[in-house]
Structure 1
């Protein structure tokens, strides 16, 4: 039961902080000699983080849905979210095999964490000058490509999408909102794939899965709120330092 709780907490924390949840999973497996979580457990923690996103952004989502049929900013925003989702869907389907094999390489994860650290440093540097309030078509496409790149373990999804938005001139809070809303279909898709795989697993521990999902939901909600507060200041370098240290350690040990 402790394993379920710890994995849920880890997923909720690292999914929304710019430190790569997939990278932490690979390095934890290599360092501790533990097996990868089964599809059912993976589905449970992804569902927990998906619920955290839906609960935190419920007002934003309700507003977008209610105004979806009306021409205006809300309709364009939904279109941008759909456009931004296309790259991760295409790459996830066409490059699923190579991406899955990347999870077997702690050294690759270490290198990708260093890339994440560099991106966060650039985002930190650009945050003070980024002031645009509206998302544009090119923003949606570029942030979507950044999200697709984050399918590689060690590349943080929240870090890559946030820093891409900031680099294009979006105010940090605007970039963060788009990043998190864009994560909803991506996390939902990951949950669906995991659920399909879980259908063949025998003897599921439903109580343990519920604990994992609950821990991911609780830690995810706390992390989203905390990170959005941090983003308002535009200070990302502490996360860059963390990723650099972890990535360097992974390369040395690998």
Structure 2
């Protein structure tokens, strides 16, 4: 996948730059201005609007699934950190949830607009009862557990890394409880990958574990994904 338009773009035509620059408003911080400028100049954001996806993140899952074939018709999928629903849209389409053949269960701290074939709940995954509530919504084993959860950034690289690894550990432990044999787990981590203890746990529970960085991830982002496939089944 070379890019949203199928090929690379220089951002220039006829010698004129097409990049949009955003003026700093009095009440807008520099970081907010830079984020807005990235959004306005991001081809994946533009394509998501054209194609009806709720977020540019949809293209990350599309790219990973095109490569590793995680999602198939009839599967049950859990989406942790689902808002605004970009990954759930992709999953629902590929498992044919809208046709009643599969299903998607998603949770987030924020409310999510309804989606055919998906069930969304406002829920904090840190809550002690969250796993049991999710299992009740699933009504049986899951085939794929997705986690795009991210802790709020502190600006301290090591702290942020440890916090997101903690989230992935929770998600991986949940996946080991709900996945059917042969199932898959995909979760966001940060550059540097998974910690030794987490990696050992995933290698114990899954046949294949690898790190993936889709092209749809921004080049300047430390974002990375850990993909574990071939769940061995609960001990």
Same fold at TM > 0.5: no
Pair member with larger Rg: 2
Q: Comparing both structures, which one devotes a greater share of its residues to strand?
A: 2
Tell me which of the two structures has the higher relative contact order, counting C-alpha pairs closer than 8 angstroms and 6 or more residues apart.
Answer: 1
User: What TM-score, normalized by structure 1, do the two folds share?
Assistant: 0.26
User: What TM-score, normalized by structure 2, do the two folds share?
Assistant: 0.27
Q: Comparing both structures, which one devotes a greater share of its residues to helix?
A: 1
